[in-house]
Structure 1
């Protein structure tokens, strides 16, 4: 995470410091450096498979339903946007976010998946509204491809014999809304942004290469960002 923060800061500094990039509130390219809160759901949409032995263990523990919740996280984000004209633009973001998936409801207090590192590759087409003021609101939508790395079984899952977990890379949808506020004619500004993702990854749990549990999750995070922008 520290390396990612340094890379984002270096990219932003390079973009802002290059003399050839004269700032303008009507420029074609906008770069944003944001602080982002990632607020996922993570609840289990369905249990697609459960091994009989594991089901028996849950029954012995008095567990009648299997559910989960992913924790929140705050990460740095770099957004790059290209304006086709005053109304329409295309934006992509770069960040990594790390989460744990823990049990909920009857499984509250259990640790199911550790260190899920996600790259939320997102591309949105945005429409900007000219209000005649310094406030420039926008809405957007587009595809999101959640790429998952480095997931590991949590402590409770390991205690049940799970030695490997795999979460699927998943294609979903992102809806977006926000506002840009230029600070004069220099190209600098501030930005507030909100995205709602609709993502349903699958988690598969293995014990000695035998699948013992498969669950489908409503990850569906809210992603809330605020930061500075530079347009040129």
Structure 2
């Protein structure tokens, strides 16, 4: 009987030894992620505030998708609760649809989405940890230019207002080894509103519209825990 228990105990220890000892992040750990990210805006005009160019009926806009590298840094407050911030710069053109079909309205607008999320992680030592999260974001618009269609109508300058919004998040981390290397897959949905204002060379406002900007941001890449 004792021999049987000893054999069972030895087998259990041997099996445990085959598992990563710390295959998941723990309280006090940092995790850096190098990611490839698809930014897919879901944007539309919600209000026309100033119209001195005569927009056609049914005018709306859509922004193009972009694929960019991003970096995320995460700190684990507890084994299951963490704070994460991301860094990345994405660039988009905006074209008209509906009554504005085919008209470029915004050219090469660069966006820095400063984001901080609080994440709750599920799972344990099997190395697979799905999570959900949420937090504030601040969209900074950089070097935005009026599109060719608006330039043809006299636009000399475009301003997109920097705005606060909210991000919701879900994804998972999967440990590859017990040295801190892992795979990370993440999806965020952003919700924010901003105003776009086109002015001519004298500073007179030609057009001002309010936009709903709710991009999907889908990322995948490597994580390094330390």
TM-score between the two structures when normalised by the length of structure 1: 0.84
- Give, in angstroms, the shift of residue 131 of structure 1: 5.3
- Give, in angstroms, the shift of residue 212 of structure 1: 1.4
Matched, 1:226 2:225: no
Find the residue that maps to 2:94 and give its secondary structure.
strand
5 Å-filtered alignment, 1:146-225, equals 146-207=139-200, 208-225=202-219
Matched, 1:121 2:122: no
Matched, 1:26 2:20: no
In structure 2, what is the equivalent of residue 137 of structure 1? 130
- Give, in angstroms, the shift of residue 37 of structure 1: 0.1
- Give, in angstroms, the shift of residue 201 of structure 1: 1.2
- Give, in angstroms, the shift of residue 132 of structure 1: 5.5
* Root-mean-square deviation over aligned CA pairs: 1.4
- Give, in angstroms, the shift of residue 42 of structure 1: 2.0
- Give, in angstroms, the shift of residue 45 of structure 1: 1.2
- Give, in angstroms, the shift of residue 136 of structure 1: 0.5
In structure 1, what is the equivalent of residue 44 of structure 2? 43
Find the residue that maps to 2:150 and give its secondary structure.
helix
Q: Which runs of 4+ in 1 moved over 2 A?
A: 23-27, 131-134
5 Å-filtered alignment, 1:100-115, equals 100-115=93-108
Return the alpha-carbon distance in structure 1 between the equivalents of residues 178 and 125 of structure 2: 15
In structure 2, what is the equivalent of residue 14 of structure 1? none
Return the alpha-carbon distance in structure 1 between the equivalents of residues 222 and 106 of structure 2: 34
In structure 1, what is the equivalent of residue 58 of structure 2? 65
- Give, in angstroms, the shift of residue 133 of structure 1: 3.0
Return the alpha-carbon distance in structure 2 between the equivalents of residues 189 and 137 of structure 1: 13
- Give, in angstroms, the shift of residue 41 of structure 1: 1.6
Find the residue that maps to 2:193 and give its secondary structure.
coil
Residue correspondences, number: 202
Find the residue that maps to 2:177 and give its secondary structure.
coil
Return the alpha-carbon distance in structure 1 between the equivalents of residues 159 and 193 of structure 2: 14
Return the alpha-carbon distance in structure 1 between the equivalents of residues 97 and 135 of structure 2: 31
TM-score between the two structures when normalised by the length of structure 2: 0.86
* Greater helix content: 1
- Give, in angstroms, the shift of residue 30 of structure 1: 0.1
Structure with the greater alpha carbon radius of gyration: 2
Structure 1 regions of 5+ residues with no counterpart?
1-22
Find the residue that maps to 1:201 and give its secondary structure.
strand
- Give, in angstroms, the shift of residue 135 of structure 1: 1.6
